[in-house]
Amino acid sequence: MLALRIVKELGRDILIVTPGIRSAGSAVDSHKRSVTPREAIDAGADYLVVGRPITKAADPRSPAQKILEEIS
């Protein structure tokens, strides 16, 4: 994954922000690439950007909770 290559090249003094986070089995919307929260963290992400799965949900707490569970 790109984050690992960036860290290898630049060192760990940078923060990796990963957009396009989607829970396993979720719609990817307009993203050409998306990753699960666990994949992003395993690849070295420091921060995850989760937008539409939460903001477009009728009950935003539910997808947010699912993402937290996938991280743990």
Where in the sequence is the domain holding 12, given as residue range(s)? 2-71
Please provide the average confidence, as pLDDT, over all residues in the chain. Answer: 84
User: What's the number of domains the chain is made of?
Assistant: 1
The whole-number pLDDT of residue 31 equals 60
More confident residue, 39 or 6: 39
* Section 19-34 average pLDDT: 71
Place of tokens 């396009």: 20
What does the buried/exposed string (b/e) look like for 21-36 if buried means 16 or more CB atoms within 10 Å of the residue's CB? Answer: bbbeeeeeeeeeebbb
Mean pLDDT (whole number) for 6-13: 82
pLDDT higher than 90, residue 61 = yes
Q: What is the pTM of this model?
A: 0.73
